[in-house]
Amino acid sequence: MQRQRTDCPWWQRGVIYQIYPRSFQDSNGDGVGDLAGIEARLDYVATLGVDAIWLSPVFPSPMADFGYDVADYCGIEPMFGDLAAFDRLLAGVHARGLKLLLDFVPNHSSDQHPWFAESRASRDSAKRDWYIWRDPAPGGGPPNNWISDFGGSAWEWDAATGQYYLHAFLKEQPDLNWRKPALRAAMMDVLRFWLDRGVDGFRIDVLWHIVKAEGFPDNPVNVDWTPDRTERDRLIQRHSTDQPEAHAISADFRALADSYGERVLVGEIFLPNDRHARWFGTPERPQVHLPFNFQLIENRWNAAVLRRVIADYEASLPTHGWPNWVFGSHDAPRIAARIGDAQARVAAMLLLTLRGTPTLYQGDEIGIGDVPIPPERVRDPQDLRQPGLGIGRDRSRTPMPWDGSPFAGFSAVEPWLPLNADWPTRNVAAQSDDPDSLLTLYRSLLTLRRAQDALSIGKFALVDADEDVLAFERWHGDDRLLVALNLGTQRRRLPLPAHGAIGAVLASTLPPRVLDGSLAPDEGLVLRLEEAR
C-alpha cells in the first residue's frame, strides 16, 4: 500500500530493522553471515514492511569486539565480502524502496588501524595525538581511576613510548582524540565516503563517549554500587562521557548529513531524559535526528512503570525533537526471553503504535527467546572478562532461523553461535504459513502502521486505565485510534474513550472475538474510535 505524500521525512514515518550481519545469512558456507547473504534475504525484509535496514559494523576488523574495533573505516571486512558486494547490497536495498544505515564507530578504532600503528610508533609521530596518551600518575600507575566498560582500568601501558593510552572498552579499542582537528577532519571524510556511495544515514556508536573532560580528573565513586553489577558501575562516568564539547561534533555530523538531502543520524546515547534530550540540539543547530531511546529495555515490564516512562520521555522532548523506541538490539537480552511469548505479542503492538520511530531487531519478529550459550561457545569479550554477571551478549546474536532444513537455512555448516533450541518450529518459514504466528502479527501491525497516519505521524495521549493496562490514543486529522494493552494475567476493564465510541478492531494480539468491555490476559487491541451518535 502506498503512503500518501506528506511533508514528513521518511525516518519519521518509517520503521528501522537492525541486522547483525554475522548472524543473518551465510552465503559461502563458513558459518558466519555476510553481505551476499543479506542481499539474498532482502525480499523477506521488504515484505516484512519495514522502511530501513541498519547494519551492525561491516568494516575490516580483527574482531576483538566483533566489528566494533575498526581497522579501516572505508573498507569491507573480507569475512563479509568487499566493496563490490556492498554496492550490490545497497543497490538491492534501494531497488526495493528501502534505506540503508551503516554503524559508524567514532569513539575508538582497532589497535590494528594504521592510524594507531603510527600513533604508537613514537611520541613524535604526526598522529600521536590522534589518540589519547598520558604519562603515569605522579606515584606511578594509570593517569586516573577510569574503568573500562568491559572491566579493568581504562588505561593501557605502552612500554615502547612510556605512556598510557585510553580505551573506554577493550585495550584493542584505543579511544580517538576528537579534540584534534586533523582527526575530526579525517572522520568527517569517512562519513563523506559512505554518503557519496549512497548510504542513507548512520547509527553512531556510543556517541556520548567521544569527548573526555580536559585534565582527565578522577570519576566519582558510585556509593550505590553492589558486586552484582559491572565493574564499570563502581564509578559515575562524570568526566569520561557526555562532555559539553561533544555536542558541537554531533552538530557537525548533522550539518554534513543534511547537506546530502534526506539522510538520518541515530545516536547511541544512554543518559537520563534531561541530558538525553540535549542531543537533539536546537532548531538553529540541530544534532542527531534520533538519539536512541532505550527505556523499553531498561525498565520493568509493568504498566504503571511504562506509563510513567512514556510520559516522562514525551515531556522531555524539545518541540523540534521526534521520539523513537526500541526494545531489542545486539546488546540487550531478547524481549521474548524477558517477558515470555504471550507478552512478546503485546510488546510488538506497543512498539509499533507508540509515537515515534521504532527500531526492530532481527529475530524478535519470530519471538526468539532465551538461548543458553555453553561455556565453551561463549564469544562475547564482555562476558569472558566479567563472567557470572549475566551480561553476555551472545544470546542476542544467535543466527536467524529461516526454515526447518539443516542449520535452519542459515548456513550449510555449524554456525558461529548456537541456534535457538526450538529452531525446527520457531523459524521464518513456519511462522510465515501460520496466520496466528508472531511474524504474521508483526506484518499486520506494520501494514496497519503504514496505512494509518494516526499511528505513523499522529499525536499521542495516555489514557487512564486499570491496573496492568497501558492505554493511549493516537490521532491524525479526523482519524482517532485507541490502543489498549493488558500487560497482566488477569482480565481487566477495557478503558472507554472520553469522547466517541469504539468502532472497528483494527488489530489484536489474540484471535478475533466479540468485544465485551474487557481485555483478556495478554490481549492488546488497536481500535478505531467513532463519534458518538
Predicted pLDDT of residue 4: 42
pLDDT tens for each residue of the chain, 533 residues long: 334 445 799 999 999 999 999 999 999 999 999 999 999 999 999 999 999 999 999 999 999 999 999 999 999 999 999 999 999 999 999 999 999 999 999 999 999 999 999 999 999 999 999 999 999 999 999 999 999 999 999 999 999 999 999 999 999 999 999 999 999 999 999 999 999 999 999 999 999 999 999 999 999 999 999 998 999 999 999 999 999 999 999 999 999 999 999 999 999 999 999 999 999 999 999 999 999 999 999 999 999 999 999 999 999 999 999 999 999 999 999 999 999 999 999 999 999 999 999 999 999 999 999 999 999 999 988 888 888 788 889 999 999 999 999 999 999 999 999 999 999 999 999 999 999 999 999 999 999 999 999 999 999 999 999 999 999 999 999 999 999 999 999 999 999 877 778 889 999 999 999 999 999 999 999 999 987 65
Catalytic (active site) residue 205: yes
Give the integer Cα–Cα distance in Å for 201 and 9.
13
C-alpha cell at 78: 573480507
Predicted pLDDT of residue 221: 97
C-alpha cell at 310: 512514556
Residues of the chain with CATH 2.60.40.1180: 459-530
Residue with cell 505479542: 345
Give the integer Cα–Cα distance in Å for 33 and 20.
8
Give the integer Cα–Cα distance in Å for 96 and 113.
35
Nearest to 253 by CA among 290, 298, 306: 290
C-alpha cell at 209: 563517549
Torsion of Cα atoms, 257 then 261 then 264 then 267, to 10°? 20
CATH topology of domain 459-530: Immunoglobulin-like (2.60.40)
Catalytic residue among 149, 172, 205, 473: 205
pTM above 0.85, yes or no: yes
Helix (H) or strand (E) holding 508: strand 501-508
Q: List the beta bridge partners of residue 461.
A: 473
Residues of the chain with CATH 3.90.400.10: 114-166
Nearest to 511 by CA among 525, 498, 501: 525
Residue 322: Cβ within 10 Å count = 18
Residues of the chain with CATH 3.20.20.80: 10-110+178-445
**What 3-state DSSP class applies to 313?**
helix
Catalytic residue among 149, 172, 231, 268: 268
Catalytic (active site) residue 39: no
Residue with cell 571486512: 77
User: If one looks up domain 10-110+178-445 in CATH, what number appears?
Assistant: 3.20.20.80
Predicted pLDDT of residue 2: 34
Residue 319: C-alpha distances to residues 220, 315, 353, 474 (Å): 34, 10, 21, 18
DSSP 419-467: PPTTTTTSSHHHHHT-TTSHHHHHHHHHHHHHH-HHHHT-EEEEE---T
Nearest to 472 by CA among 480, 464, 481, 463: 463
Predicted pLDDT of residue 340: 97
Torsion angles phi and psi, residue 195, rounded to 5: -65, -40
Give the integer Cα–Cα distance in Å for 209 and 212.
7
CATH superfamily membership of 114-166? Oligo-1,6-glucosidase; Domain 2 (3.90.400.10)
How far does CA 128 lie from the centroid of its chain? 33
Helix (H) or strand (E) holding 503: strand 501-508
Residues 6+ apart with CB under 8 A from 136: 142, 143, 163, 164
Give the integer Cα–Cα distance in Å for 59 and 77.
5
Give the integer Cα–Cα distance in Å for 159 and 528.
68
